[in-house]
A and B are shown apart, each in its own frame.
Chain A
């Protein structure tokens, strides 16, 4: 069975500092990896996914298959980045429509 681990429940940085949210996964096949974000009182929304390789709001994530990691990075954090971040994967095969989520990391960016 697949599993996603986000080791940090809370992460605090100051505005302008680099930020990295860690995500490790366990799955023997080739999953598709996602980062979702939930701002205060808003719905869960896609931040980025591995296959699109886009940089959204300055965030990037690199898939490291050797370390089975998909860490989220931003060189200069902004106060508006404060939110809950979830790493998630969809496995292959018959895992239709099933996102497996990590426990989430609450990011706080201080002024």
Chain B
């Protein structure tokens, strides 16, 4: 099976702009989770979607949002970008049953200038 893919791989934006990142899960997986990875805070959970519904959410401001489509592909959006949003954004997919193993994509490197 093809692995989790993320597009784009790299993005450069300026403060105040908004950005949309995309994630395609492993075929048959219905759950997609998003994480932010920074040198200071490490890996932090943003949210999880299953069958187009957000089931879980981390402690991030409302500027961070996401959605999932009927084919399980997911997008996350960050509005009004701040310098501190510069990070590697990872998505992971799993079948969606409780404590499943999650399989990670390569990430999108976002730089905010």
A interface list, Cβ under 8 A from B: 31-32, 34, 36, 43-46, 49, 51, 86, 88, 90, 92, 94-104
Contacts and interface: CB of A to CB of B under 8 A. Distances in A.
Given A100-B45, A104-B42, A43 B104 contact: yes
B45 A86 contact: no
29 contacts: A43-B104, A43-B105, A43-B106, A43-B107, A44-B90, A46-B103, A86-B43, A88-B43, A90-B98, A90-B99, A92-B98, A92-B99, A94-B55, A95-B56, A96-B50, A96-B55, A96-B96, A97-B33, A97-B50, A97-B55, A97-B56, A97-B92, A98-B58, A99-B35, A99-B45, A100-B45, A101-B42, A101-B44, A104-B43
A99 B107 contact: no
State the main secondary structure of chain B at its contact with A. Answer: strand
Nearest to A100: B45
Contacts of A45: 103-104
A80 to B, nearest CB: 20
Contacts of A31: 99
Interface in B84-113: 90, 92, 94, 96, 98-99, 101-107
Contacts, number: 65
A96 B92 CA distance: 13
A95 B56 CA distance: 7
A15 B34 CA distance: 36
A79 B45 CA distance: 31
Question: 3 closest A-B pairs (Cβ-Cβ)?
Answer: A97-B48, A32-B99, A101-B43
Given A31-B99, A96-B31, 4 more contacts: A46-B101, A95-B56, A96-B98, A97-B96
A94 B99 CA distance: 10
